[in-house]
Structure 1
Amino acid sequence: MFVSALAVAALSSPAFALNNGVGKLPAMGYDTFNAFAGNYNATNVLDQAQAMEKCGLAAAGYNIIILDDYYALKKRNASGYMVADPVKFPSGLPALSEQVNKLGFKLAAYGDNGYETC
């Protein structure tokens, strides 16, 4: 009987969480790593954004496109910042961001606290 009471007490303990709406929906975006790993460029990202917009995903709330690892050069610049690969993104990230924004998406980029990327 004691074991049963202990089990009920352990299983009925409350969960503590913020009631701020976070977690009510799945992640509402797209991450380049899931489709391309490290083999992507500005054209791939824009093509994906256009396909997502055409399918109605932006209107449904899937409004973030994340450039995961491999968008940047392997080494940081002299100031310590990650720099977009000029071969993969010849017009730069601001230009890509502007194009993606026009389709209803926000462009986000992976970051890392290390000296390189991952």
Structure 2
Amino acid sequence: MDYTLDDYNAAIYAITSSLNKSQKAITKLKETTFQYRLLEQGIKSYHMALNLIQHELEQSSIDFYSSEELDRAIDFYSTSIQRVEKVMPKFNVGTSQHTLGIRRIKAFEIALELINQIKNLTD
């Protein structure tokens, strides 16, 4: 894993943006809905990724994550990457939507790699 400081900072920015949007959206949903549970898992996964990126940047401590939490985050990011890749052909190169998609994919790939790294250490 050879990521630069700029890669990590861009990932923090993209993940924080996704986190903020999810936190705003979840307030409009009922707790019993599938969409609510999906956003709730996303919020947990975003926090996990931010914690792991901060650890990479500052060698700070890592929060404890159970194997189940790591598996859910791996599923979340894998699915999220696929979703963004699926809609990318709809956006013209150079548009803000296209740029956002590229940045999200890279950020989610970094998150997924860090989470898999922790998962491999705990197995």
Q: Could you tell me the TM-score, scaled by structure 2's length? A: 0.29
Point out which structure has higher relative CO (alpha carbons under 8 A, 6+ apart): 2
Q: Could you tell me the TM-score, scaled by structure 1's length? A: 0.30
Higher-strand-fraction structure: 1
